[in-house]
């Protein structure tokens, strides 16, 4: 039974990584989505395309660039040097950076869609009531975009839980720090420890199903409430 105790740390680490990543993504992604939805700048679709890149790029490309960027000859090495390390790779922080980039489109796109869906009118109405731009954003736009924010958060969280390739390349497989669920499963399969691989995989399967089901139900309920 003590053998099974080793299954828990990767689960806890993965949930922690997904939670932190989702939080960072909501904080960074919401203003970005707002700008993409409202700005009339011509170049904004270029930014939107950059945000969407992780949808298309293989994780190996991201992992490769990240490994260089996080290392001693990249910006990551400078940051790591501040606290005496030489690289941000192989650390929880490094995984958060990788996951934020990798899951960015999954959070930004639904929020952008939500901001675009209610159009100008609620904001114009608020403006006539003398609400300033900041006030309009927080008390009109954000509440109206709640379904998009929920969907973005759920997708960002789930996508981070399911991340594999990037972590494989920059993680270093350190128990409790970078050995996430997908890596643990990969290891168990490689070592022919299929009992443990089965347990973790079945857990992820159920999790993925519940997440997708929840998003669908959530979306339906929100839509019903709007009409």
Partner 1 sequence: MNRRLATLFAAVLALLPAAAFGTEVHVAVAANFSAAATEIAAAFEKQTGDRAILSFGSTGQLFTQIVQGAPFEVFLAADLARPQKAIDTGLAVKGSLITYAVGRLVLFSADPGRVTGPQSLADPLPDRIAIANPLTAPYGAAAIQTLDALGLKAKLQDRLVVGQSIAQAFQFTVTGNAEMGFVAGSELLEAQGGSHWVVPEDLHAPIAQGAVLLEAGKDNAASTAFLNFLDSDGARTIIARYGYGTGVR
Judged by the rule CB under 8 A, the positions of this chain that interact with partner 1 are 67-68, 70-73, 77, 85-87, 89-90, 168, 172-174, 187, 189-192
Of the pair 192, 224, the CB lying nearest partner 1 is at 192
- CA–CA dist 90, 167 (Å, integer): 9
Of the pair 141, 185, the CB lying nearest partner 1 is at 185
Contact 97, 87 (CB under 8 A): no
Contact 34, 141 (CB under 8 A): yes
Of the pair 101, 140, the CB lying nearest partner 1 is at 101
Residue 93: helix, strand or coil by DSSP? helix
Of the pair 86, 223, the CB lying nearest partner 1 is at 86
Q: What is the largest CA-CA distance in the chain?
A: 67
Minimum separation from the CB atom of position 42 to partner 1 (A): 39
Question: CB atoms < 10 A from the CB of 24, how many?
Answer: 18
Structure tokens at 32: 């970005």
Minimum separation from the CB atom of position 53 to partner 1 (A): 22
Contact 96, 24 (CB under 8 A): yes
Minimum separation from the CB atom of position 67 to partner 1 (A): 6
Of the pair 137, 188, the CB lying nearest partner 1 is at 188
* Signed CA dihedral, 203, 205, 211, 213: sign only: negative
Place of tokens 């990788």: 98
Minimum separation from the CB atom of position 148 to partner 1 (A): 37
Minimum separation from the CB atom of position 196 to partner 1 (A): 13
């Amino acid at each position: 039974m003590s053998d099974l105790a080793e299954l828990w740390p990767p689960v806890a680490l993965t949930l922690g990584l997904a939670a932190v990543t989702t939080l960072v993504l909501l904080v960074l992604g919401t203003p970005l989505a707002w700008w993409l939805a409202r700005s009339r700048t011509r170049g904004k679709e270029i930014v939107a395309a950059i945000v969407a890149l992780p949808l298309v790029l293989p994780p190996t490309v991201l992992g490769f660039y990240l490994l260089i960027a996080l290392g001693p000859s990249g910006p990551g090495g400078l940051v790591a040097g501040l606290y005496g390390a030489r690289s941000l790779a192989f650390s929880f922080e490094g995984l958060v950076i990788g996951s934020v980039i990798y899951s960015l489109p999954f959070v930004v796109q639904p929020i952008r869609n939500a901001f675009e869906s209610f159009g100008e009118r609620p904001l114009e109405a608020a403006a006539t009531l003398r609400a300033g731009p900041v006030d309009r954003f927080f008390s009109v736009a954000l509440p109206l975009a709640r379904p998009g924010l929920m969907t973005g958060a759920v997708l960002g969280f789930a996508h981070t839980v399911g991340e594999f390739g990037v972590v494989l390349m920059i993680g270093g497989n350190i128990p409790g720090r970078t050995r996430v669920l997908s890596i643990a499963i990969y290891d168990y399969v490689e070592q022919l420890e299929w009992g443990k691989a089965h347990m973790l995989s079945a857990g992820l399967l159920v999790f993925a199903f519940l997440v997708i089901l929840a998003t669908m139900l959530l979306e339906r309920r929100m839509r019903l409430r709007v009409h």
